[in-house]
Structures are given as structure tokens and as C-alpha cells.
């Protein structure tokens, strides 16, 4: 984590302790985070079966209690190739009992192709989930890639970004740290 990231995160934690953060989360929407659209009302996630890298069935409900960054991507997506390493670094910097980055390969993405993609991109810390029939993507209205959702601790979508971002940047980490620290479910736009 860079010095700037540490300074911003320290400021976020200090503000959270004073209760000022809840009223001013919108101020943290800078840089790539300006593209993040917060939901007026948190939306429940559909119960859809995903497959992990071993073929075991998984569901997003397994991660309830954590703030989640859920990234929808595909091996053929050029923007995903650029974005994925930043998601990996975000998981390395913030992954904890309170926070997790999940990747959902949507559509036909065979495990050998996913493994090759991750190896070429240097991705080592991300959970692989597959939505082979695009059931979750369709139910969530995801039409293009990449798309990233932020889920609150109750498993509800509180924000969505269409397109790629530098998720390991100070701006993203500060905003996500605020969500983790405050347990926010509906930030101010």
C-alpha cells in the first residue's frame, strides 16, 4: 500500500470514529470511483448457483457478513485483462474477515482459459467463480463487461460500476474502507 493510500485510510478511520463519514461518503467518490453508482435502495441478490474452480456449487450467500466487491468478467474481455490485476492487489491489501473480492467469469470460460488468463495477468489472490449459463448476469441486468458490484454485509447490492477501474488505487481503497468500517448499506450519492 502506498503512503498516500495509508494517509487516506487513516483519515477515513478517523472520520468514521467521529460519525462524520456516514453523511459524507459521497466526498470519497473521486478518480475512477466517480463511475460508481450507488443504489437508492439496496437490492437483494438472486440465489443463483455458481461454480468454483473445482466445479463445486457455490452461492454469494456464503460470503454474507463481509463487504464484497463482485466483478463480472470474461477471458476474452480486453478491459478485464487490464482491470483484473488491480482487483488482485485490492484483495491482497484489504482482504479480511470483513472484506472480499470475488470474480465471476460469466459465459463460456473454461477453467484452462481462466487459469491461463490469471497466470498471464499475475493474479494469485482471487476466488474464481463461474456463471457458465449467465443466469446471475442476466438476472442482474449485466449486458457488457466488466461490471463490478459492491454488496453490503447483508448481501445486498449497494453500488455498481460499468467498465474497468483501478480498484487498488487510494480512492477505491478509501471508499471501500469506509463501507467496511461504517457498515454502510446506502451511501449518499
Interval 108-122: pLDDT, tens: 999 999 999 999 999
Q: Is the pLDDT of residue 10 over 70?
A: no
pLDDT tens string 72-104? 999 999 999 999 999 999 999 999 999 999 999
Residue 149: strand, helix, or coil: strand
Distance CA 74, CA 105 (A): 5
**Within 10 A of 167 (CB to CB), how many other CB atoms are there?**
27
Q: Give the CA dihedral 91, 77, 140, 57, nearest 10 degrees.
A: -60
Burial class (CB within 10 angstroms; exposed 0-12, middle 13-18, buried 19+) of 58: middle
Report whether pLDDT(188) > 60.
Answer: no
Let me know: does 166 contact 6? Beta carbons within 8 Å.
no
Q: Which of the four pLDDT bands, split at 50, 70 and 90, describes residue 183?
A: low
The pLDDT tens digits for 26-54 are 777 877 888 899 888 999 999 999 999 99
* Confidence label for 15 from pLDDT (cuts 50, 70 and 90): very low
Strands 57-58 and 50-52: antiparallel
Q: Average the pLDDT over 164-177 and give the result.
A: 94
Which CATH architecture describes the domain 37-165? 3-Layer(aba) Sandwich (3.40)
Share of the chain above pLDDT 90, in %: 74
Q: What is the pLDDT of residue 83?
A: 97
pLDDT at 154: 95
Q: Which region among 9-23, 92-106, 145-159 has the lowest average model confidence (pLDDT)?
A: 9-23
Is residue 113 helix, strand or coil? helix
- Given a cut of 80, is residue 158 above it in pLDDT? yes
The pLDDT-based confidence of 6 (bands split at 50, 70, 90) is very low
What's the length of the chain? 189
Residue 155 has a CB neighbour count (10 Å cut-off) of: 19
8-state DSSP, 155: S
pLDDT at 29: 80
pLDDT score, position 185: 42
- Give me the helices (H) in the chain, please: 3-17, 78-94, 111-121, 135-139, 170-182
Distance (Å, whole) CA 57 – CA 130: 10
Per-domain residue ranges of the chain? 37-165
| Strand pairing class (37-44; 156-162) | antiparallel
Average pLDDT, the chain: 86
Across the range 131-147, mean pLDDT stands at 96
Amino acid at each position: 500500500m502506498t503512503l498516500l493510500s495509508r494517509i487516506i485510510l487513516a483519515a477515513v478511520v478517523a472520520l468514521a470514529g467521529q460519525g462524520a463519514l456516514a453523511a459524507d461518503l459521497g466526498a470519497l467518490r473521486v478518480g475512477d470511483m466517480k463511475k460508481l453508482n450507488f443504489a437508492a435502495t439496496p437490492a437483494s441478490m438472486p440465489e443463483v448457483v455458481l461454480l468454483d474452480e473445482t466445479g463445486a456449487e457455490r452461492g454469494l450467500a456464503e460470503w454474507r457478513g463481509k463487504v464484497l466487491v463482485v466483478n463480472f468478467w470474461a477471458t476474452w474481455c480486453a478491459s478485464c485483462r487490464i482491470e483484473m490485476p488491480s482487483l488482485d492487489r485490492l484483495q491482497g491489501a484489504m482482504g479480511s474477515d470483513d472484506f472480499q473480492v470475488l470474480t465471476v467469469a460469466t459465459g463460456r470460460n473454461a477453467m484452462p482459459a481462466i487459469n491461463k488468463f490469471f497466470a498471464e495477468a499475475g493474479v494469485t489472490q482471487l476466488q474464481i467463480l463461474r456463471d457458465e449459463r449467465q443466469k446471475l448476469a442476466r438476472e442482474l441486468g449485466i449486458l457488457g463487461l466488466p461490471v463490478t458490484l459492491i454488496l453490503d454485509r447483508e448481501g445486498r447490492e449497494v453500488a455498481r460500476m460499468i467498465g474497468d477501474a483501478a480498484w487498488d488505487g487510494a480512492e477505491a481503497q478509501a471508499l471501500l474502507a469506509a463501507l467496511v468500517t461504517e457498515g454502510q448499506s446506502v451511501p449518499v450519492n
